[in-house]
Amino acid sequence: MAKGAFRGGGYGGGFGGGGGGMNMNMIKQAQKMQQEMLKMQEELEKKEYSASSGGGVVTATVNGKKELISVIIEPDAVDPEDVEMLQDLIVAAVNEAVRKAEEESAKNMSKLTGGMNLPF
């Protein structure tokens, strides 16, 4: 092995040579983004998203964690002869409320990341 074979190979004197300040700045920016993301996530989890189906006879509300927190069913929607339609209306309302929550979450995340598609 030649003398000095592991001396950085001309890249600024070894690991991190010359670019250390830039790496620290990137780390600080990532930490700031992470704090903002956590704050945004906490705010989103407190919000509620509602959606209706069947012309408003079924309304479902979910929170930002996408947990169902309430279902309101108008008496007109309750037909013992057609329980399947009521079930479909409930599923449709819940799915739409969850979609609204996901859409707002994605929109806010996009604002935070500047449109970068990061795997969070």
Overall pTM surpassing 0.85 (yes/no): no
20-113, CATH topology level: Ybab; Chain: A; (3.30.1310)
Phi and psi at residue 71, in whole multiples of 5°? -135, 125
Q: Please choose, from the candidates 19, 13, 92, the residue with its C-alpha nearest in 3D space to the C-alpha of residue 60.
A: 92
| Structural contact between residues 86 and 74, judged by C-beta atoms closer than 8 angstroms | no
Structural Rg of the chain based on CA atoms: 26
The token pair at 22 is 């830039």
In angstroms, the CA 104 to CA 99 distance is 9
In single-letter form, the type of residue at position 10 comes to G
**pLDDT tens, per residue, the chain with 120 residues:** 555 555 544 444 445 455 556 788 888 888 888 888 888 888 888 899 999 999 999 999 999 989 999 999 999 999 999 999 999 999 999 999 999 999 988 888 887 777 565 554
